[in-house]
């Protein structure tokens, strides 16, 4: 649910969606026996960038929660 139609709201929504899909694939991978962390697969050789992506996803989730609570 994208509560704000601003550019920042749209970026936050996309990042939250990416984070949710990544968590879903990680859970599925656990049951099916594969590494489902897409962010790590794409950025595994760049752990600092990977951690920045995780931080941005978390900040985006907080932003969306606050924006949708208004």
List pLDDT tens digits, range 19-64.
999 999 999 998 998 888 888 888 888 999 999 999 999 999 999 9
pLDDT band at residue 1, thresholds of 50, 70 and 90? low
Q: What is the DSSP string of 31-69?
A: HHTS---HHHHHHTT-HHHHHHHHHHHHHHHHHHHHHHH
pLDDT band at residue 2, thresholds of 50, 70 and 90? low
Contacts of 64 (CB under 8 A, 6+ apart): 1, 2, 3, 9, 12, 13, 16
Tokens for 68?
């949708």
**Residue 6 carries which DSSP code?**
S
- pTM of the full predicted structure? 0.82
Domain range annotation of the chain:
7-69
Tokens of 4: 């704000």
């Amino acid at each position: 649910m994208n509560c704000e139609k601003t550019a920042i709201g749209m970026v936050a929504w996309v990042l939250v969606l990416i984070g949710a899909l990544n968590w879903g694939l990680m859970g599925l991978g656990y049951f099916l026996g594969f590494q489902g962390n897409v962010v790590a697969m794409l950025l595994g050789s760049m752990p600092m960038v990977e951690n920045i992506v995780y931080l941005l996803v978390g900040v985006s989730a907080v932003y969306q929660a606050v924006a949708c609570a208004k």
